[in-house]
Amino acid sequence: MALFHQHESCRGLTLLLWGRWSAELWYCPRGYEIKPHSHPHEDIELVPVFGWAAFHRCPAKGVLPETAVVTPRRWFRRHTVPMGWVHWFTVGRRLPLVFINVARWREGVTPTSAATDFLPA
């Protein structure tokens, strides 16, 4: 697995790779919008550590999405996204978003990065 990652204007850094587990630190610039997507080979926990954002997830098409707003009071609260669930987010206009992506990879899959295990919805 590479140490540095990129998805559009976002930058990632591998913090941990241990068996089926990985952790990456991600920076997304203010105003950035990531389009709906899923990760077909990993269950993830998103843990915001700085910034503001609106985070959305949806288990299936036709189901209303769940929304969580990330503010300083909600930093370090995890947001679970099971394997294959569609999710997306919009970063606030005033501050960038920094978060940790903790992933448990599917049995038999070699861990890569959330930027690589990326399937547009």
24-83 pLDDT, tens digit per residue, is 999 999 999 999 999 999 999 999 999 999 999 999 888 899 999 999 999 999 999 999
Whether this model's pTM surpasses 0.85: yes
Angle at 81 between CA 78 and CA 85, to 5 degrees: 160
Q: What are phi and psi of 72, to 5 degrees?
A: -50, -35
- Residue 15, pLDDT > 90, answer yes
Q: How far is CA 85 from the centre of its chain?
A: 12
Q: Which domains are present in the chain? A: 4-108 (2.60.120.10)
Q: What is the mean pLDDT of the chain?
A: 95
Q: Compute the chain's Rg from CA coordinates.
A: 13
- What per-residue confidence (pLDDT) applies to 42? 97
